[in-house]
Amino acid sequence: MEPRPRIGVYICHCGTNVAATVDVEAVTEFAATLPGVVVARHYTYMCSEPGQALIREDARALGLNRVVVASCSPRMHEPTFRAASQEGGVNPYQFEMANIREQCSWVHHDRHEATEKAKALVYAAVMKAIRLEPLEEREAPVTPAALVIGGGVAGMMAALDIAEAGFPVYLVEKSDHLGGRVAELNRTFPDLEPVSEWLPALVDQVQRHPNITVYLNSRVTNITGFVGNFEATVEGAKEPLKVGAIVIATGYDVFDPRRKPEFGYGIYPQVVTTLELEHRLAAGDLTVNGKTPKDVVFIKCVGSRDQQLGRPYCSRVCCMISAKQAQLVRQALPDARVTVFYMDVRTFGKRGEEFYDEARRAGVRYRRGNVSEIYRRGDRVVVRVEDTLLGRTIEHEADLVVLAVGMEPRPEAADIAALLKLPRSADGFFLEAHPKLRPVDTAVDGVFLAGCCQSPKDIPDTIAQAKAAAASALIPLMRGVVPMEAATAIVDPELCAGCGMCVEICPYGAPGLDPLWGVSRVNAVLCKGCGACAVTCPSKAIRLQHFTPDQILAQVEALVGW
Amino acid sequence: MLMDIQQHAREIGLGLDLFSCIQCGKCTGGCPVSLTTALNVRSLVYGALIGDIAGPVHREELWDCTCCFTCVERCPKDVRPAEVIIALRSLLVEEGKVPSTIGNALMGIFRQGNPLGYAREDRTAWMDGLEVQPAQEGCETLLFTCCSSAYDIRAQAATKALVRVLQAAGVDFGHLGTEETCCGNEVRRVGEMGLFEMLVEEGKPLLEEVGAARMVTTSPHCMNTFRHEYKLGMDVLHYTQVLARLLDEGRLNLTGRVEKVVTYHDPCFLGKQNGIFDEPREVLKAIPGVKFVEMDRIRERSLCCEGGGGRMWFEGTNTEGRLAFQRVQEAADTGAEILAVACPFCMAMLDDAVKVKGLSERLKVMDIAELVAMAL
């Protein structure tokens, strides 16, 4: 039988953040009267070392088995106070927090009412604390190897870093060669360096690395398991590959300008994409219908920043690609007029603006106007556009028109997303776990993103993200174990009807139907304790530990009855 | 006249979204009249956004817009630029500042149900020699003839041809006779919102009472407003769609031959605005003997004939550089003997241009229905 609750309650002033609005002494006096409470104190900063010491020392001296801190949001300091409770011998899951700052002192002015509300919140927390059960945090072992999907620059860089750290890496590439989209480029911005000077060496390094196994002409067809313990079925691999972490680096597709019929792409040989011009520049042949162009036009934002296409985003590289190719065309065809028509010039980033300056100084004309239409006139094409700075529509005759096509998600991204239950943003690119704080993580632990599969980006940004993804993937590999959330859902097999609704609703793939018994079982390593399954379960067979109905209802009753 | 144009546009049922505009110029760059008139729709959107419309609104070129909606189709930010023009026009209409010829057309519609101002009793004069079932007796398909199709002599020939083709295919169709009234598509686009509302209020029950499963229109303009603005409880089809379906189902057998080189001009209200590009071409290609050739500017890149948006009733400020002149030249350059059309406005504009440009010996403008009727 559980020992009787012995609760310590600590009210934090948070300097004056709480104390200026809430009468902390009154709240403390009130807390002392609550059932099970053996000590109630208030202190200037509970999160400070002396504040934490109060918890530790009381817990030992008074034999506390529950701790309640009334202070800020649990997002802020729950880990701090859980650790302090544990050091005092209290199970960290028998700690409860009342948020009397964000949910009280910061949003109320009336001191009396704020104090009453703080009391209510403390009362609710104590009512829940009485019912909290001790939970145990466990760890799972990690398979010390990684899977990288996609053999472009992002995938290769991530694979190399993980391999260099000493772990085996399986690199899966669907085409027959490594290098991805960059292998199709001639020179790169902003230094006009030939790709041939560094890409073959990088490919070679990957292929020869003793820790990297490359699977070409291969796809990942199935993935099971969870962080630390994935199993991937890969075409060409005899057995499922066991890995602890996965890096997705599946890249992008090039926008097909046939979806903008006004440009006549596919009809006029004079109209090409930036990628096609890249091939022509590499081959040193810019002729159209056997003639050297005298007038070359670049059109930006083709397939980008376009609501009608469902491509509202900026592809981030086309301004720099246009500036690069316009300069290279100027070099190759010194007599040709080269004009870039633009909506905005976005040559941000290191050396970006300078590169744009160089393009203009090289004689490239920038005219502001989003080209509306292309049609034929003799053996040339007419670019119909308003020069918005002149406020005048013009017909600009050209021999070569280059469409700066944007990036879009690969259709196969949907398959990978389905394999891993990975969320994607509205534009179809993979969704990072947090736009600022977790830019290479995904909603699935142990799965990381690198390169343009997450959003359009240039080569330096791609490589930076690849190295970040590798470093993040190395955390579980190097630690050797992964912590398991203790506040997980558990299924009562006696009540479970095996309907599978929990399997469908879970965003993390934690529940699965036991093939033998036909009932649901929750994989504790995958469970994040969100509770979606518990509320979905029609037979109430699922119980979310640490948020059980009696705990929550006790809290609710305390507040409702106030 | 400083006021919130966006607010005004919403009040009169337009979806103008000024704040999404990034002034990229794609609208004006594609505007078919922007090379020949002072009309600059991008600049009007900007003026409306910053509240500076006093100047632009009194300029005559505001009436140059053909409402082809190329700007709406191309705008990357879903601004619907043409609707700023309609909104500005509606302000002028409220003040009675309308070009006199447009005013006359609106008066004709108000009094006689057609912009030409002809007598309502003469609306069925084109039926002379044909037996057309009154729709009031019930029919599966309601045939709606554009005012031009009913009164304009050149267009009447196309209407008659269509009736013969539908009868040959055994289509159960009827016509409202002299009760038929202008659809108001252009009325709305010149900004006469009050008259348009009246036409909808009176026309909608009349059309729906027939109880037909579908309506077929001779003009893409009528089809457009019936589809998008009347919200009728029946399918609204352009006649080329019906002909394509009849051919496809084997209900229309063409035994005659038309040994001609034929090209086709896409009407803006059929193609650009309603995405109907293939059916007219399918019909032409199904006519035995026809050698079908394409012009360069087709489908989404088609050149406007300049007959829409009230321009049937307003010369425009660009009498020199008519787009129809360019268009018939382009058609003649393909070697085509026949320039096929599918809209009574295109018929009027292009037929006139052929005469003005002295191309009558080489090129004839014909409605698709006429070509099909020739092959019956």
Sheet strands (E) in A56-165: 66-71, 95-99, 138-141, 146-149
Domain of A221 in residue numbering reads as 146-251+410-482
Nearest alpha carbon to residue B37 among B370, B345, B317: B317
Contact A307 B42 (CB under 8 A): no
Beta-carbon contacts of A449 under 8 Å, excluding residues fewer than 6 positions away, are A247, A248, A249, A430, A432, A440, A441, A442, A465, A469
> Tokens standing for B66?
């053909």
- For chain B, domains (ranges, CATH) are 5-94 (no CATH), 108-246 (3.40.50.1860), 251-374 (3.40.50.10700)
Residues A367 and A415 in one domain: no
Quote the pLDDT of residue B2. Answer: 42
CA A142, A145, A151, A155 torsion-angle sign? positive
Task: Specify if A459 maps to a domain.
Answer: yes
Distance of residue B29 Cα from the nearest chain A Cα, in angstroms? 4
Residues A537 and A462 in one domain: no
For the record, the structure tokens of A507 come out as: 């965003």
Which two tokens mark A118? 């703080």
Residues A527 and A446 in one domain: no
CATH number of the CATH domain containing A454: 3.50.50.60
Q: Computed from CA positions of residues A388, A390, A395, A398, in that sequence, does the dihedral angle turn out positive or negative?
A: negative
Is pLDDT of B57 > 90?
no
E strand or H helix at B372, and its extent?
helix B368-374
Q: Which of A135, A156, A185 is the last residue of a domain?
A: A135
B22 interfacial to chain A (CB closer than 8 Å)? yes
- Residue A550 inside a domain? The answer is no
CB–CB contact A343 B299 (8 Å): no
Among residues A360, A389, A406, which one ends one of the domains?
A406
Cβ atoms of A141 and A480 within 8 Å: the answer is yes
Ranges B23-37, B48-62, B157-171: which has the least confidence: B48-62
* B29 at A interface, C-beta within 8 A: yes
| Nearby residues of A400 by Cβ (< 8 Å), 6 or more positions away | A270, A272, A286, A288, A293, A295, A296, A297
**Of B226, B239, B235, B241, nearest to B180 (Cα)?**
B226
pLDDT in tens, A280-328: 999 999 999 999 999 999 999 999 999 999 999 999 999 999 999 999 9
HEC per residue, A185-231: CCEECCCCEEHHHCHHHHHHHHHHCCCEEEECCCCEEEEEEECCEEE
In a domain, A557, yes or no: no
**What is the reported pLDDT for A112?**
96
Which two structure tokens, joined as six digits, stand for A146? 């990684």
Residues A382 and A297 reside in one and the same domain = yes
At A204, the pLDDT band (50, 70, 90 cuts) reads very high
Of A486-495, B3-12, B223-232, B299-308, least confident by mean pLDDT is B3-12
N residues, chain A: 562
The distance of B283 to chain A (nearest Cα, Å) reads: 23
Query: Is 90 exceeded by the pLDDT of residue A71?
Result: yes
pLDDT at residue number A421: 87
| CA-based radius of gyration for chain B | 20
Contact check, Cβ <8 Å, B296/A384: no
pLDDT the model gives residue B11 = 87
Q: How confident is the model at residue A528 (pLDDT cuts 50, 70, 90)?
A: confident
Mean pLDDT, range A464-483, rounded to an integer:
96
Of the pLDDT bands very low, low, confident and very high (cuts 50, 70, 90), residue A1 is low
On whether both A402 and A261 belong to a single domain, the answer is: yes
**Cβ-defined contact of A386 to B296 (cutoff 8 Å):** no
Interface membership of B229 toward A (CB under 8 Å): no
Q: How far is A353 from chain B (nearest CA, A)?
A: 21
Interhelix angle A549-560/A111-131, nearest 10 degrees: 150
Query: Could you give the percent of chain B with pLDDT greater than 70?
Result: 98
Q: How far is it, in rounded angstroms, from Cα A21 to Cα A41? A: 18
Rounded to whole angstroms, how far apart are CA atoms A117 and A55? 24
Domain for residue A52, yes or no? yes
CA distance A176 to chain B (A): 37
Same domain, A195 and A226: yes
Assigned token pair, A282:
């590499």
Note whether B122 and B116 are within 8 A (CB): no
* Claim to verify: residue A291 and residue A419 sit in the same structural domain: no
Count the Cβ atoms, other than its own, within 10 Å of residue A539: 13
Tell me the Cα Rg of chain A. Answer: 31
User: Do you find a cis peptide bond into A456, omega within 30 degrees of 0?
Assistant: no
What is the reported pLDDT for B5?
Answer: 86
| CATH at residue A18 | 3.40.50
For residue B42, the distance in angstroms to the closest alpha carbon of chain A comes to 8
Burial of B126 by CB count in 10 Å (0-12 exposed, 13-18 middle, 19+ buried)? Answer: buried
Give the residue carrying structure tokens 């011009």. A277
Q: Does the beta-carbon distance from B35 to A393 stay under 8 Å?
A: yes
Cβ separation of A386 and B25 shorter than 8 Å?
yes
Give pLDDT, residue B56: 61
My answer on whether A162 and A228 are in the same domain is yes
Do A176 and A105 have their domain in common? no
**Nearest Cα residue in chain B from A381:** B296
Determine which of A258, A372, A377 to mutate to test the interface with B (most B C-beta atoms within 10 Å): A372
What's the pLDDT band for B23 if we cut at 50, 70, 90? very high
Q: At what angle do helices A274-283 and A318-332 cross, to 10 degrees?
A: 30
Which residue from A262, A264, A391 is facing B40, i.e. has the nearest CB?
A391
Cβ–Cβ under 8 Å, residues B310 and B299: no
Structure-token pair, residue A368 = 């502001």
Q: What does the pLDDT read at residue B265?
A: 98
Residues A400, A421 share a domain: no
Distance to chain B for A551, nearest Cα, Å = 49
Cβ within 8 Å, pair B34-A262:
no
Average pLDDT over residues B316-334: 92
What residues contact B22, with CB distance under 8 A and at least 6 apart? A343, A344, B76, B77
Name the minimum distance, in Å, from the CA of A344 to any CA of chain B.
8
Percentage of chain A exceeding pLDDT 70:
100
Please check whether residue A241 lies inside any domain of the structure.
yes
| Cβ <8 Å between B74 and A391 | no
Residue keyed to tokens 């705008």: B75
B134: DSSP letter: B
φ/ψ region of A400 (left if φ > 0, alpha if ψ in -120 to 50, else beta) reads beta
Task: For residue B207, list its beta bridge partners.
Answer: none
Task: Look at residue A273 in the predicted model and tell me its pLDDT.
Answer: 98
In a domain, A65, yes or no: yes
Q: For A377, which residue in chain B has the nearest alpha carbon?
A: B296
With beta carbons under 8 A apart, name residues in chain A contacting B300: 261-262
Q: pTM of the full predicted structure?
A: 0.85
Q: Between A262, A387, A388, which is nearest B300 by CB?
A: A262
pLDDT reported for residue B55: 66
Q: Where are the beta strands (DSSP E) in A463-537?
A: 481-484, 489-491, 511-513, 520-522
pLDDT 10s digits, B265-285: 999 999 999 999 999 999 999
Indicate the DSSP class of residue B99.
-
Residue to substitute from B17, B21, B26, interface A, most A β-carbons within 10 A? B26
Please give the single-letter amino acid code of residue A532: A
The predicted-structure confidence for A380-404, as pLDDT tens digits, reads as follows: 999 999 999 999 999 999 999 999 9
State the number of CA atoms in the 13 A half-sphere of A476 facing the CB: 29
Same domain, A214 and A199: yes
In chain B, which residues have their Cβ closer than 8 Å to the Cβ of A376?
296
How close is the nearest chain B Cα to the Cα of A391, in Å?
Answer: 8
Across the interface, which of B25, B78, B296 has its CB nearest the CB of A385? B25
Interface check for B300 against chain A (CB to CB < 8 A): the answer is yes
Within-domain flag for A530: yes
pLDDT for the residue B128: 94
Residue B320 pLDDT > 90, yes or no?
no
Residue type, A85: S
- Residues A48 and A114 grouped into a single domain: yes
Smallest Cα distance from A369 to chain B, Å: 5
Strand pairing category for B173-175 and B141-144: parallel
Q: CA A112, CA A104: separation in Å to the nearest integer? A: 12
Contact B34 A386 (CB under 8 A): yes
Average pLDDT over chain A, rounded to an integer: 96
H or E stretch covering B307: none
Q: Is residue A141 part of a domain?
A: no
Other Cβ atoms less than 10 A from the Cβ of A360: the count is 15
A360 interface with B at CB cutoff 8 Å: no
Of A489 and A561, which is predicted with more confidence? A489
- Distance between CA atoms of A200 and A179, rounded to whole angstroms? 8
Q: Are B376 and B248 in contact (CB under 8 A)?
A: no
| A47's tokens | 């999160």
Neighboring chain B residues of A388 at a CB cutoff of 8 Å: 23-25, 28, 42
**What is the pLDDT at residue A480?**
96
Percent of chain B clearing pLDDT 90 (strictly above): 89
| pLDDT beyond 80 at B53 | no
**What total of structural domains would you count in chain A?**
4
Nearest by CB: A386 against B28, B70, B77: B28
Q: Express as a percent the part of chain A with pLDDT over 90.
A: 93
Interchain CB contact of B340 with A (< 8 Å): no
Q: DSSP strand E in A259-368: where?
A: 271-273, 295-302, 337-342, 365-368
Q: Does residue A67 contact residue A95 with C-beta atoms inside 8 Å?
A: yes
Q: Decide the pairing of beta strands A245-248 and A380-387.
A: unpaired
- Tally of residues, chain B: 376
| A334-359: b (≥16 Cβ within 10 Å) or e | eebbbbbbbbebbbebeebeebbebb
pLDDT of residue B1: 43
